[in-house]
């Protein structure tokens, strides 16, 4: 796992956007796994800027979103579909037929979830999966106790998540109780995972994700089993990590590797440092 600590939430967004932009430049028909919530907003702002000012081309990408509330129409202002349209898709040139957000109004969820998984496979699998994290350590809507091998399915929201998300709905009783979400196993199949977190309220979940045991009680901790994970944090989200000095050392070595500064020691690029 590569842990990158940036000075501010804005820097976290810009750093993640640079990684995604590089992926799209190197492979224009990339398959991107996308996330909702407050955390990825800075990433999306920066991608839109790159598209409008620098001509970054998204015309060939395919996207799959992580999750959606059950029962909300795509036009509902709190639906994740609406969020994605408003904060990303309507500003880019991605082709609508290659944009996928789980359908919270599916009539048969079991078959919808099977087809969603199938579509990811048909698209060639996800190249980079963007992730946020809940205060209880969940990724997507994989609440504590979710099987680490789980696939796209319906999930009952935990009371902590309902409380956290009530700020978007006005009151707790308006928050849907169920969501359709990619599983932990689905997420782990992405070729690279990019987890972002900002703010002191994420510090404990981040400490448990990175330095705690792999456990279904903190589903993001399953990322420890993945071979290519980058975690980008602001100082506050990193504030409870015990091995910060080491993560910073790794980053210094990594930038030397990338800039060729270690060539004098006979160490070349592509050695990997995760
Ligand atoms: C929801 C989403 C998650 C997201 C989390 C944190 O539970 N399903 O994908 O990571 O909220 O959201 P925020 O970034 O707003 O803190």
210 in Cβ contact with 185 (< 8 Å): no
Mean pLDDT, the chain, integer: 95
Answer yes or no: is the C-beta of 146 below 6 A from any ligand 1 atom.
no
Residue 266, pLDDT > 70, answer: no
pLDDT tens digits along 3-62: 999 999 999 999 999 999 999 999 999 999 999 999 999 999 999 999 999 999 999 999
pLDDT for the residue numbered 23: 98
C-alpha dihedral (260, 266, 272, 274), degrees to nearest 10: -100
The alpha-helical segments, DSSP class H, found in the chain are: 9-26, 41-54, 80-87, 109-122, 159-169, 184-188, 203-211, 244-259
pLDDT tens digits along 119-177: 999 999 999 999 999 999 999 999 999 999 999 999 999 999 999 899 999 999 999 99
Mean pLDDT of 183-197: 98
Q: How far is the CA of 83 from the centre of ligand 1 (A)?
A: 12
**Does residue 267 or residue 53 have the better pLDDT?**
53
Q: How far is the CA of 44 from the centre of ligand 1 (A)?
A: 15
268 in Cβ contact with 42 (< 8 Å): no
Answer yes or no: is the C-beta of 167 below 6 A from any ligand 1 atom.
no
Q: Which two tokens stand for residue 35?
A: 């996330």
* Atom 5 (ligand 1) nearest CA: 134
- Which residues lie across from 3 on neighbouring strands? 231
Rg of the chain taking only CA atoms, in angstroms: 18
Answer yes or no: is the C-beta of 163 below 6 A from any ligand 1 atom.
no
Question: CA-CA distance, 143 to 215, in Å (whole number)?
Answer: 12
Answer yes or no: is the C-beta of 209 below 6 A from any ligand 1 atom.
no
pLDDT for the residue numbered 132: 98
Best of 69, 132, 144, 182 to mutate for ligand 1, by most ligand atoms within 8 A of CB?
132
Catalytic machinery residues: 67, 136, 138, 143
Best of 13, 33, 39, 167 to mutate for ligand 1, by most ligand atoms within 8 A of CB?
39
Domains annotated on the chain, with CATH? 2-242 (3.40.50.1360), 245-274 (no CATH)
pLDDT for the residue numbered 178: 97
Answer yes or no: is the C-beta of 132 below 6 A from any ligand 1 atom.
yes
Q: How far is the CA of 131 from the centre of ligand 1 (A)?
A: 8
Ligand 1 atom showing the smallest separation from residue 199 Cα: 16
Answer yes or no: is the C-beta of 161 below 6 A from any ligand 1 atom.
yes
Q: Which two tokens stand for residue 104?
A: 């919270």
Q: How far is the CA of 140 from the centre of ligand 1 (A)?
A: 7
Mean pLDDT of 208-223: 98
* Atom 10 (ligand 1) nearest CA: 132
Which pairing describes strands 178-181 and 67-69: parallel, antiparallel, or unpaired?
antiparallel
Coil, strand, or helix at residue 222? helix
pLDDT for the residue numbered 107: 87
Question: CA-CA distance, 251 to 256, in Å (whole number)?
Answer: 9
Answer yes or no: is the C-beta of 257 below 6 A from any ligand 1 atom.
no
pLDDT for the residue numbered 151: 98
Residues 6 or more apart whose Cβ sits within 8 Å of residue 216: 144, 145, 146, 147, 148, 184, 222
Q: How far is the CA of 37 from the centre of ligand 1 (A)?
A: 5
Q: Which two tokens stand for residue 50?
A: 């790159």
Question: CA-CA distance, 6 to 48, in Å (whole number)?
Answer: 21
pLDDT tens digits along 45-71: 999 999 999 999 999 999 999 999 999
pLDDT for the residue numbered 263: 67
pLDDT for the residue numbered 264: 58
């Amino acid at each position: 796992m590569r842990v990158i600590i940036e000075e501010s939430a804005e820097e976290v967004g810009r750093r993640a956007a640079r990684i995604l932009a590089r992926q799209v430049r190197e492979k224009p028909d990339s398959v991107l796994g996308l996330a909702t919530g407050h955390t990825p907003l800075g990433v999306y702002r920066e991608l839109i800027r790159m598209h409008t000012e620098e001509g970054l081309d998204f015309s060939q990408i395919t996207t799959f979103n992580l999750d959606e509330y059950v029962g909300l129409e795509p036009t509902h202002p709190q639906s994740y579909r609406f969020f994605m349209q408003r904060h990303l898709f309507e500003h880019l040139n991605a082709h609508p037929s290659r944009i996928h957000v789980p359908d919270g109004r599916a009539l048969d969820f079991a078959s919808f979830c099977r087809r969603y998984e199938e579509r990811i496979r048909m698209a060639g699998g996800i190249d980079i999966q963007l992730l946020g994290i809940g205060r209880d350590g969940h990724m997507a809507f994989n609440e504590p106790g979710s099987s680490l091998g789980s696939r796209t399915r319906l999930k009952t929201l935990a009371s902590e998540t309902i409380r956290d998300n009530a700020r978007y709905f006005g009151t707790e009783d308006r928050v849907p109780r169920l969501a359709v979400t990619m599983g932990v196993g689905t997420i782990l199949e992405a070729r690279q995972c990019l987890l972002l977190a900002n703010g002191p309220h994420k510090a404990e979940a981040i400490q448990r994700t990175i330095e705690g045991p792999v456990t279904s009680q903190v589903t993001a901790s399953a990322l420890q089993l993945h071979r290519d994970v980058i975690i980008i944090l602001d100082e506050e989200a990193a504030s409870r990590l015990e091995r910060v000095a080491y993560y910073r050392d790794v980053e210094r070595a990594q930038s030397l590797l990338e800039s060729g500064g270690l060539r004098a020691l006979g160490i070349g690029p592509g050695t990997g440092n995760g």
